[in-house]
């Protein structure tokens, strides 16, 4: 059979990683580390969404090049980043490996959650594994590891109206090459609320944060829940 097929995830995300620029050395406020939930620079809320204090153990699912986890570690949080892509993690390790309280694991999100038995005070994902993993597998695994009262927060692009459930996400390659394909899961806010409640989460809030002023109109979908 010809046509597009779902690609091995590590291969697909390594390809993505090679195309992505490094995070800037400093942001618009002159900070060397920062947290960004959105696809826009210097925009949106910060770590306060996680409701954690220094000493908390926090998990980043699909941490990519590690900038958000590194910022948390500079605040005294024990930040654990997991990512399936060796390229992403090599970049994370090279730039942030020196930061105390920060650890990276090259592994798949659900596999990690099932193996690690220490628990987390918060779990988050920024356009990460929470978007690219079947929620029927991921949500119960997170619920098991999230300590009582702990926050689950994830951000992703809002769903395209009418396109719900498992969708194909394309990772472009060269002009003469077919794109690679990974799966992602898109739902409307009501559906996320229902799913999260089904898996034992409470205090669910799913809202779209508006894009910054300018030409871009697509906002950021931010979903928050509590164990």
Ligand X SMILES: C[S@@+](CC[C@H](N)C(=O)[O-])C[C@H]1O[C@@H](n2cnc3c(N)ncnc32)[C@H](O)[C@@H]1O
Give the number of other CB atoms < 10 A from CB of residue 111.
13
Q: How far is the CB of 132 from ligand X (least distance, A)?
A: 4
**Binding of ligand X at residue 84 (CB under 6 A)?**
yes
Q: Which is nearer to ligand X, 82 or 123 (CB)?
A: 82
**Binding of ligand X at residue 127 (CB under 6 A)?**
yes
**Binding of ligand X at residue 129 (CB under 6 A)?**
yes
Q: Which is nearer to ligand X, 128 or 150 (CB)?
A: 128
Q: Which is nearer to ligand X, 55 or 137 (CB)?
A: 137
Give the number of other CB atoms < 10 A from CB of residue 223.
22
**Binding of ligand X at residue 15 (CB under 6 A)?**
no
Q: How far is the CB of 161 from ligand X (least distance, A)?
A: 22
Contacts 24+ apart (CB under 8 A), 86-90: 86/10, 86/14, 87/13, 87/14, 87/17, 87/18, 88/13, 88/14, 88/17, 88/63, 88/64, 89/63
Contact characters 54-83, ligand X, x per CB under 6 A: --------xxx-----------------xx
What does the angle CA 87 – CA 88 – CA 91 come to, to the nearest 5 degrees? Answer: 85
Pairing status of strand 78-83 against strand 57-61: parallel
Of positions 49, 78, 102, 126, contacts ligand X by CB under 6 A: 126
Taking CA atoms, 40 is separated from 21, 47, 211, 218, 227, in Å, by: 14, 16, 8, 10, 29
Q: How far is the CB of 101 from ligand X (least distance, A)?
A: 19
**Binding of ligand X at residue 88 (CB under 6 A)?**
yes
- Structure tokens, 128: 């990460």
Q: Which residues sit at the interface with ligand X, rule CB under 6 A? A: 9, 13, 62-64, 82-85, 88, 108-109, 126-129, 132-133
């Amino acid at each position: 059979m010809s046509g597009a097929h779902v690609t091995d995830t590590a291969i697909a995300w390594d390809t993505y990683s090679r195309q992505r620029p490094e995070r800037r050395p400093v942001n618009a406020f002159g900070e060397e580390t920062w947290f960004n939930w959105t696809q826009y620079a210097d925009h949106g809320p910060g770590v306060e969404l996680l409701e954690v204090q220094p000493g908390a153990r926090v998990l980043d699912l699909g941490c990519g090049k590690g900038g958000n986890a590194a910022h948390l570690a500079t605040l005294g949080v024990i930040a654990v980043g997991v990512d399936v892509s060796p390229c992403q993690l090599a970049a994370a390790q090279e730039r942030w490996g020196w930061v105390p309280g920060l650890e990276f694991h090259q592994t798949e999100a659900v596999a990690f959650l099932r193996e690690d038995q220490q628990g987390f005070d918060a779990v988050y994902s920024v356009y990460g594994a929470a978007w690219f993993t079947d929620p029927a597998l991921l949500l119960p695994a997170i619920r098991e590891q999230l300590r009582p009262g702990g926050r689950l927060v994830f951000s992703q692009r809002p769903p395209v109206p009418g396109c719900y459930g498992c969708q194909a996400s394309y990772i472009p390659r060269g002009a003469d090459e077919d794109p690679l394909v990974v799966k992602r899961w898109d739902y409307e806010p009501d559906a996320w609320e229902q799913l999260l409640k089904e898996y034992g989460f409470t205090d669910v809030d799913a809202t779209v944060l508006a894009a910054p002023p300018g030409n871009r109109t697509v906002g950021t979908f931010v979903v928050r829940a509590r164990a």
